Amino acid sequence: MPFRGVDYMLVDSLFSEQELLVRQTAREFVDGEVVPVVKDCFREGRFPAHLIPKMGELGFYGANLEGYGCAGMSNVEYGLLMQELERGDSGLRSFCSVQGALCMYPIYTYGSDEQKDKWLPRMARGEAIGCFGLTEPGFGSNPAGMGTRAEKQGGEWVLNGEKTWITSGSAADVAIVWARAEEGIRGFLVEKGTPGFTASDIHGKLSMRASITSSLSLVNCRLPESAMLPGAKGLKGPLSCLTQARYGIGWGVVGAAMECYETAREYSITRKQFENRPIASHQLVQQKLAEMITEITKAQLLAMHAGRLKDTGKLDPAHVSMLKRNNCAMALDIARAARDLLGANGISEDYPVFRHMCNLETVKTYEGTDHIHALVIGERVTGIAAYK
Ligand SMILES: Cc1cc2nc3c(=O)[nH]c(=O)nc-3n(C[C@H](O)[C@H](O)[C@H](O)COP(=O)(O)OP(=O)(O)OC[C@H]3O[C@@H](n4cnc5c(N)ncnc54)[C@H](O)[C@@H]3O)c2cc1C
């Protein structure tokens, strides 16, 4: 069944025809290509790699960047794209977020002309895959403490360190690795096959199973001078990439929530208990659905407003923290409520709810946990940083 959308408050009336067209294209792709395979992929712990070229053809990678074969979408169009992809699966949206916001964006914003020409057109087509290596075994929420080192030796950089929980790590043709040099934190383009650089997959995940997650190891990994991103100096380099990706997450999770809500709503109308009445006829069930659709509507409006601010250059990182934090918490709550309304079926892979619920546990944690974004908002409203 094609997805009909969830729009209680006529939010669609606030989108342009072009924005709705982008959403429709992504919606048809998800219905036709993702929904039929994602259950098996999640069970088997496999990323649907066969979809990579098709998403390139459709312009999904770096979609809100201009030139280099990118689609040049507005940020609202890009947000609607992320929403539809995550309705399919958070792993798929993560792949596109990492490719576009965490890899193409830093090359586009901080890279040399040579780096841009070499990577961006191929990445836009999905012929080259990227990953973003910031998190380390000892430094997650506090990347400022990172232990990975970049040392200048003659005309080369020598990298040593370890990154972990890296999306698309072992699939990537190029890793954006953040390392501490004498002058501060710098970003490096580390190509697959570089001696001293290896990626190994993390197994045993109960979340994001249709996504590749890896550890990266750098042992005396020698890179030419030209491998460094010349324009990224200090922690604000990686943090600015995370702001881009968090913006996409703020939209994406609304898609997962919409899918869970719609599944629960339909189920509650058809499932009968007590005198052959639909469970939707019970007041407690209706209250749950009312709360779910209210929270989804608020999240849709927040995402759309953030998109309009971003399109006019007014969205700042503290705004994005509110978007990411609120919408992730909302989506996880909706998934848990939907699982409850489906009773025993709520834990079955035959419904998308439990898969989304497991995935959303990751989405709440990565790209800044709920706590860290609360501290960003707290700092904005008090002027006092409370991270330490
Ligand atoms: C599936 C998956 C994919 C990922 N993909 C990537 C990727 O592509 N690239 C990448 O670099 N990273 C990636 N990550 C890593 C992710 O960004 C980190 O897991 C996240 O930043 C949290 O770090 P941590 O796991 O070390 O938790 P920790 O930082 O150890 O935090 C543990 C808990 O302590 C809390 N906490 C920590 N400090 C504070 C504080 N000051 N105040 C209050 N509470 C605090 C946190 O909120 C959390 O609840 C991924 C993670 C997962 C699970």
**Token duo for residue 314:** 């007014």
What distance in Å separates the CA atoms of residue 147 and residue 175, rounded to the nearest whole number?
17
Return the SS3 of 352. coil
| CA 108/CA 118 separation, integer angstroms | 11
Q: Is the full-model pTM beyond 0.85?
A: yes
Q: How far is the CA of 342 from the centre of ligand 1 (A)?
A: 31
Digit-coded pLDDT (tens) for 176-219 = 999 999 999 999 999 999 999 999 999 999 999 999 999 999 99
Tens digit of pLDDT for each residue in 97-114? 999 999 999 999 999 999
Distance 372 CA to ligand 1 centre (A): 9
* Residue 96, burial from CB neighbour count under 10 angstroms (0-12, 13-18, 19+): buried
198 pocket-lining for ligand 1 (C-beta < 6 Å): no
Where residue 13 falls among pLDDT bands split at 50, 70, 90? Answer: very high
* 220-243 pLDDT per residue, tens: 999 999 999 999 999 999 999 999
- Strand partners for 196: none
Predicted confidence at residue 1, as pLDDT, reads 81
User: Is the C-beta atom of 60 inside 6 A of ligand 1?
Assistant: no
The pLDDT-based confidence of 42 (bands split at 50, 70, 90) is: very high
- For atom 41 of ligand 1, the residue with the nearest CA is 387
First to last CA, the chain: 50
**Is 366 a pocket residue for ligand 1 (Cβ < 6 Å)?**
yes
Q: Is the CB of 213 under 6 A from ligand 1?
A: yes
- pLDDT for position 117: 98
Binned at pLDDT 50, 70 and 90, residue 50 comes out as: very high
Count of CB atoms situated within 10 Å of the CB of 31: 16
User: Can you tell me which atom of ligand 1 is nearest the CA of 207?
Assistant: 1
Residue ranges in the chain assigned as alpha helix (H): 17-29, 35-44, 52-57, 75-88, 90-97, 105-110, 113-125, 236-270, 283-311, 317-341, 353-365, 370-382
Q: Give CA separation, 324 vs 94, 102, 152, 359, 376, in Å.
A: 14, 16, 37, 15, 11
Share of the chain above pLDDT 70, in %: 100
